[in-house]
Amino acid sequence: MFHKEGYKIIIISFIIVVLINLISKELINNSIINYSIGILTIFGLVLILQFFRNPKRSTLLNDSLIISPVDGKVVVIKKVYEKEYFKDDRIQVSIFMSPLNVHVTRYANSGIVKFSKYHPGKYLVAWHPKSSELNERTTVVVDNKKYGEVLYRQIAGAIARRIVNYAKVGDSVTQGEDAGFIKFGSRVDLFLPLDSKIKVELGELVVGGIDTIAEN
């Protein structure tokens, strides 16, 4: 199963692979070179296919929990001042996604979308301390009556060049549902209430829509 954001790229990539191999067979009379070109182009196509994969996840809905919005590695857990929306102290949990991770963004909690904003920006490496403020990004806040307001931020990396965000203010969203996609790399930051009980550790690998990040 592939994500809808990848359909166009997958089709174009498939056509390019076919054309390259057809042209190489016409112009290059060397079976070893043709075979090598075939292997390399197919390998490239497989990488694109795995990047846009969209595995179905069975999320157990729980308003007391914040689940991981993405697949990746926990790279930040710290108290910070969140200055865009809350303008107060929050616990930041950041998850870095490599190009090999699933890049679907899922809602970490159910509730009503209270805020959704796109910011154009730079393409610093996703683990750079300033990427959360300077890179291309989207900020979304979902209000859950039990847990409160939770902010997540999709952040483009050095490779990522497009963020897709489906959240619109006023939407009623469900934990684990598809919230967007980040093409080719990056990270997601969560900003949680200070009394949240963090259930992950630095360096831990998490699965989007399944693993618990925090509870209240």
Q: Is the pLDDT of residue 17 over 80?
A: yes
Strand 212-215 relative to strand 197-198, pairing: antiparallel
Name the residue among 89, 97, 121 with its Cα closest to residue 191: 89
pLDDT at 3: 65
pLDDT at 47: 78
Name the residue among 136, 79, 134, 71 with its Cα closest to residue 105: 71
Residue in 13, 131, 186, 196 annotated catalytic: 186
Average pLDDT value for residue range 45-64: 83
186 belongs to the catalytic site: yes
Phi-psi region of 214 (alpha: psi -120 to 50; beta: other; left: phi over 0): beta
- Euclidean distance between the first and final Cα of the chain, in Å? 34
Q: CA 12 → CA 7, 38, 112, 162, 176, distances in Å?
A: 9, 17, 37, 17, 30
Residue 137, token pair as written in the block: 């990004």
In tens, the pLDDT along 55-102 reads 888 899 999 999 999 999 999 999 999 999 999 999 999 999 887 787
In tens, the pLDDT along 122-160 reads 656 555 555 566 678 899 999 998 999 999 999 886 555
Number of neighbouring beta carbons within 10 Å of residue 64: 13
pLDDT at 49: 78
Q: Is the pLDDT of residue 199 over 80?
A: yes
pLDDT at 139: 95
Average pLDDT value for residue range 39-68: 86
Q: What proportion of the chain, given as a percentage, has pLDDT over 90? A: 52
pLDDT at 120: 85
pTM of the model: 0.79
Strand 111-119 relative to strand 137-144, pairing: antiparallel
* Residue 8: pLDDT band with limits 50, 70, 90: confident
Question: From CA 79, how far away is CA 49, in angstroms rounded?
Answer: 37
